[in-house]
Amino acid sequence: MMTIEDALKLKFSCDELSFSQFRDNHRIGVPAEKLFDILAFLKNEHHFDMLVELTAVDYLEYEGAKDRFGVVYVLVSTMNGARLVIKTHVNDPEPLLPSVYSLWKSADWLEREVYDMFGIRFSGHPDLRRILTPDEFTAYPLRKDYPLKGRGERHNFPVLTRAES
């Protein structure tokens, strides 16, 4: 039986794919320009029908890092219980990836959260807007260059009492 690694190598013939494994945790690094095609292949051909997590990592000032942001997709096959971690990278000034909302509807809020916290945009997302911070908020709080105490934003927004909320 062909492994997922072999199937990806055969289908995409890409030297930029990287594979690693620790126990039953399989990880695949993919180039951003092939991300959507690879994720669609994994869903349609290998039954990874559930997107359980989508998050990002800011590698600013991380020793040896070549890219600013890593974006991580965790997939599960409900057919056989297999888990797969897919990781890609994007950079400033305009970090952009294709939306996977058309593959998994669970990407809706997950992509909005990554956009709101890191400023990574997802092209083709049907409603990419802030989900955790107010629309007037102009920064991205989980970026490493964001000050730990904020920039005084809490003082710019009205305070709501428990009765008003």
Domain ranges of the chain: 4-155
Q: What is the pTM of this model?
A: 0.89
Is beta strand 25-29 parallel, antiparallel or unpaired with respect to 69-76? unpaired
Instruction: Give, to the nearest 10 degrees, the angle between helix 4-12 and helix 35-46.
Output: 130
Q: Is the CB of residue 82 less than 8 Å from the CB of residue 48?
A: yes
- Total Cβ atoms within 10 A of residue 162: 5
Q: Is the pLDDT of residue 150 over 70?
A: no
Q: What pLDDT digit, counting tens, does each position of 18-77 carry?
A: 999 988 889 999 999 999 999 999 999 999 999 999 999 999 999 999 999 999 999 999
Q: Which CATH superfamily is domain 4-155 in?
A: NADH:ubiquinone oxidoreductase Nqo5 subunit (3.30.460.80)
Q: Is the pLDDT of residue 103 over 80?
A: yes
CA pair distance 156, 68, nearest whole angstrom: 29
